[in-house]
């Protein structure tokens, strides 16, 4: 499923002449890996970065310290800034930002394990994925790929 979704994204991007860059936290590069597993992805994939720490989010993506302080790393606002930051930093047509809590630790009542925010060019979804750590991460990548497909199909 993952490679099928990634293949669809690469074909859509090629067809439209678009490029993509990714900024990942809880998925740890799985989205970039899925896209680059597709032959010919070098035509559309600009860059991918894993920004696990808040410092890295600020340094490489331009996420504001105030955003992290006020809303936290796992938030709609941070996913928005990650997606826009990676897009601008790499001159990509599409920027994807993923931040969340894959578990099994780190969750709270307010932000449970499985909570993942995904931003595509600033359009952010809040998701609660079930399962073990790897399940949450894979589900987040599939959701991100589907969001990119929907974005391209509906905006180009």
Which burial class, exposed, middle or buried, applies to 17 when counting CB atoms under 10 A from its CB (0-12, 13-18, 19+)? exposed
Q: What number of other Cβ atoms are within 10 A of residue 79's Cβ?
A: 30
The pLDDT of residue 117 is: 98
pLDDT in tens, 70-79: 999 999 999 9
The pLDDT of residue 135 is: 97
Q: Say how many domains are in the chain.
A: 1
Handedness of CA 147, 151, 152, 154 (dihedral sign): positive
Distance (Å, rounded) from C-alpha 136 to C-alpha 100?
Answer: 9
Residue 25's domain comprises 2-155
The pLDDT of residue 2 is: 82
- Tell if the pTM clears 0.75, that is, is over it: yes
Q: State how beta strands 45-50 and 115-120 pair.
A: unpaired
Q: Spell 95-109 as b/e; 16+ CB within 10 A means b.
A: bbbbbbbbbeeeeee
The pLDDT of residue 3 is: 85
CATH of the domain at 106: 3.90.950.20
pLDDT 10s per residue in the chain (156 long)? 788 999 999 999 999 999 999 999 999 999 999 999 999 999 999 999 999 999 999 999 999 999 999 999 999 999 999 999 999 999 999 999 999 999 999 999 999 999 999 999 999 999 999 999 999 999 999 999 999 999 999 987
Judge whether 138 and 27 are in contact, CB under 8 Å: no
């Amino acid at each position: 499923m993952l490679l099928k979704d990634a293949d669809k994204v690469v074909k859509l991007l090629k067809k439209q002449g678009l490029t993509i860059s990714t900024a990942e936290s809880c998925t740890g590069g799985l989205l970039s890996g899925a896209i680059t597993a597709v032959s010919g992805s070098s035509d559309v994939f600009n860059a991918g970065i894993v920004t696990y720490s808040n410092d890295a989010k600020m340094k490489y993506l331009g996420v504001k310290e105030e955003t992290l302080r006020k809303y936290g790393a796992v938030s709609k606002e941070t996913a928005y800034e990650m997606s826009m930051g990676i897009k601008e930093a790499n001159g990509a047509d599409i920027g994807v930002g993923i931040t969340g809590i894959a578990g099994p630790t780190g969750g709270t009542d307010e932000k449970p394990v499985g909570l993942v925010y995904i931003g595509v060019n600033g359009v952010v979804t809040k998701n609660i994925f079930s399962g073990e750590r790897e399940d949450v991460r894979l589900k987040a990548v599939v959701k991100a790929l589907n969001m990119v497909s929907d974005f391209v199909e509906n905006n180009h």
